[in-house]
Amino acid sequence: MPSKRRRPTYRKPPLTVAQILEWADDFKRRRGRWPHADSGRIRPLDETWQAINMSLGCGRRGLPGGSSLARLLATYRGKRNLSDLPTLDERQIVQWARVHFARTGKWPSLNSGPVSAAPGETWAAIDIALTRGKRGLPGRSSVSQLLARHGIKLNMRHLPRLKAKQILAWADAHFKRHGEWPSKDSGPVSETRFEKWMGIDTALRNGLRGLPGSSSLAAFLNEHRNLFRGKSRRPKKIRESERLHVDRILAWGKAHRRRTGTWPNRDAGPIAEVPTLKWSAVDTALKKGHRGLSGGSSLAKLFADATAWISSEWPPRWSR
């Protein structure tokens, strides 16, 4: 019985790195992206990217082996190899965050898009690496937690606990500095880097950050400093440097009037002669009797009397 004749096996020609790169460049020009192992056939050639990837890995068709299409493009064309990304360092990430803040005015989050200081990186990919412990990072973290741990910004999901004693210390310092107690609209807390009085008021109302809730900043200060039941608690002896005098306020007001043509009101900002003191604090002190004043007055009343006295329409109602 005659034996079957074997069909001659077709051996594909050898490959070179330069040839593969030429095909990859042509693919990039036509498709706008680099090829990968699943990019199909290389037309009009009788080749597939899968076969080239296998030849690069196994050392077939004249190639040295131990490589891949992704590694080849990363080495010769600078394409990021997603299966072999460079390691990350927390200090490096923090430095990229500072560059991001300097450029945008905001600290990055996982939704901040590409990392401007590290082409190819994204904040979402860095957040995943921080969370899962990839690329040389320890894991169980995030971009927000990393920045909070380095004292750069608060992590809104893990805010530090608040204590009544600390809030009262900040409020006392605010009163000493401005002559009035803070409200939820008083802006940042000067003694701390990140806290705002609005956030403290929210925590007191909703029972957040270790506080019992069902309160507010105004109710809390009323309870602990007796703001609306008699005189507020403050040092019995007022330092002379903190004491306000009517004649001094008038001198500041006259100087302001000479410069601007009008008397100052509580919205006039800092006093030029005393930049650390604002006209709003003086107005509050005149109304509530703070800082050695008798109370029951205001900037409007004081300067109205001063105007009347200067024009000699009637005697002034204020006294020094």
Locate 151 and state its tokens: 């004292």
Q: Which residues pair with 149 in a beta bridge?
A: none
Say if 182 falls within a structural domain: yes
Question: Which of 138, 157, 152 is CA-nearest to residue 96?
Answer: 152
Cα distance between residue 180 and residue 185, in whole Å = 13
Say if 180 falls within a structural domain: yes
pLDDT of residue 136 exceeding 70: yes
Position 155 scores a pLDDT of 66
Beta strands in 13-88 (DSSP E): 41-42, 47-48
Say if 267 falls within a structural domain: yes
Locate 177 and state its tokens: 């500095």
Q: Last residue of some domain: 77, 100, 120?
A: 77
Rama region for 313: left / alpha / beta (φ>0; ψ in -120 to 50; rest): alpha
Q: Output the pTM of the full model.
A: 0.46
Stretch 262-283: mean pLDDT, rounded? 91
pLDDT confidence tier of residue 50, bands split at 50, 70 and 90: very high
Question: Which of 112, 135, 234 is CA-nearest to residue 181?
Answer: 234
Say if 230 falls within a structural domain: no
Residue 215's domain comprises 164-225
Task: Considering only CA atoms, give the Rg of the chain.
Answer: 36
Cα distance between residue 106 and residue 240, in whole Å = 43
Say if 184 falls within a structural domain: yes
Say if 232 falls within a structural domain: no
Cα distance between residue 243 and residue 23, in whole Å = 83
pLDDT of residue 317 exceeding 50: no
Amino acid identity for residue 240 in this structure? E
For residue 44, cis peptide bond before it (omega within 30 degrees of 0): yes
Say if 8 falls within a structural domain: no
Say if 5 falls within a structural domain: no
pLDDT confidence tier of residue 231, bands split at 50, 70 and 90: very low
Cα distance between residue 273 and residue 294, in whole Å = 23
In a shared domain, residues 100 and 55: no
